[in-house]
Structure 1
Amino acid sequence: MKLYDDPRSGNGYKVRLLLSHLSQPYQYVPIDILRGESRTTEFLQKNLNGRIPVLELDNGSSLPESNAILYFLAQGTDYWPTQPFEQAQVMQWLFFEQYSHEPNIATPRFWLTIKGLDDTPFNRQLLAQKQEAGNQALAVMNEHLQTRRFFVADRYSIADIALYAYTHEAHEGGFDLSRYPAVVAWLERVSAQPGHVTMDQWNDV
């Protein structure tokens, strides 16, 4: 398999983290989104939406969207529950991550530490709005984790992997994680899982 990904992307890191947990070999193909490498004719044949990550399978099929890739790779593994209700709960958190969490936590990180953001009144207001919504998402997570070790069925799953990716880098977007002690404790549990890799690690075979 090949993973097309920008090394700075939390969405790509989700996939790398699961692949490491699964001890699944793959070839890593770095894509620099700031240089437009995800908008080339060749890449658009793999994903018409021009976004990373994209997982290319051995048969040549391409699968974009990080959480869809997590779902695909997790089938039949310990990272995907067997009970339908628990499966639905995992999907619930994957939807939460893409709708309420990632747009509001990843975007400030991108603006402040990767792309840069012009210091104008409009941009400051836009950043503040994103950070307010991001803090609301972190508060939801913190409340949920008050009495739980992991997000679903008290076991580590792709719900945790999806939410971990950008949460553990939230400080780069101006978020103070010390306000969310249950989240901080959960981050430590995730990083202690067998096969854990950091964001700057990947497999190139």
Structure 2
Amino acid sequence: MKIYGDVSSGNCYKLKLVCALLGIEHEWVNINALKGEHKTPEYLAINPNGKIPAMQLDDGRCLSESNAMLNFLAHDSPLLPTDAFELAKVAQWQSFEQYSHEPYIAVARFIQFYLGLPDERRAEYEAKHAPGYHALDVMEQQLKRTPYLCGEYFTTADISLYAYTHVAHEGGFDLTAYPAIQAWLERVRALPGYVDMQG
């Protein structure tokens, strides 16, 4: 199995982390999106949408979209519930990540961390902070009640939200006012098999 991605991307890190936690063997193929490597004919044959990450199974089948790949890799593991309601809660948080969290926290990080906060994008960068903090507020309220986002147990929902939350400071977000999130980040880092984004 090959996973195509950029080690500094949160969406790609989701897959790196789940593979480490579950001991899934794979070949990592680094794709530099800033150099346009995600737009080559070879890569577009794997993911016609031209985004990272993507994966190609041993039998040639391909998958894209980070949370879809994440849940595929976690199938039949303790990280993905089988109960219909609990599975829906995972999907709920992953939808929250894609629509209420990632567009703000990840994009602010991209502008600051990848692009170096150019003047022409500063207004866009600053506009990402209020909705980004709102997403953190929602997470904080849940994590005050339960150790993980879906309750008592760590799931792929936590991986999805951990990926960009743990590097939110690289997009200008200050987590000091979020003690429950900070404690959750530490719980994730303490999991057996955990690997750093750049590790």
- Structure 2-normalised TM-score? 0.97
| Native 8 Å contact 1:90 1:152 kept in 2 | yes
Q: Say which of 131, 143, 146 aligns to 2:144.
A: 146
Partner of 2:35: 35
Partner of 1:80: 80
Q: Distance in 1 between matches of 2:133 and 2:112?
A: 16
Partner of 2:107: 107
Once the 2 structures are TM-superposed, how far is the Cα of residue 8 of structure 1 from its aligned partner? 1.1
Once the 2 structures are TM-superposed, how far is the Cα of residue 7 of structure 1 from its aligned partner? 1.3
Letter in 1 for 2:183: A
Q: Percent identity?
A: 49
Specify every segment of 5 or more residues in structure 2 that has no aligned partner in the other structure, as ranges: none
Once the 2 structures are TM-superposed, how far is the Cα of residue 62 of structure 1 from its aligned partner? 1.0
Partner of 2:8: 8
Letter in 2 for 1:200: Q
| Native 8 Å contact 1:12 1:66 kept in 2 | yes
Specify every segment of 5 or more residues in structure 1 that has no aligned partner in the other structure, as ranges: none
Give 1:115-130 correspondences, 5 Å limit.
115-120=115-120, 123-130=121-128
Listed one character per residue, the Cα deviations across residues 107-159 of structure 1 (whole Å, up to 9, x for unaligned) are 11111011233214xx3322121111100000100011111100113100000
- Structure 1-normalised TM-score? 0.95
Q: Distance in 2 between matches of 1:124 and 1:38?
A: 26
1:28 match: secondary structure: strand
2:76 match: secondary structure: coil
Aligned pairs, how many?
199
Q: Distance in 1 between matches of 2:62 and 2:116?
A: 31
Q: Distance in 2 between matches of 1:196 and 1:23?
A: 10
- The answer to whether the aligner puts 1:68 opposite 2:86 as a matched pair is no
1:70 match: secondary structure: helix
Partner of 1:54: 54
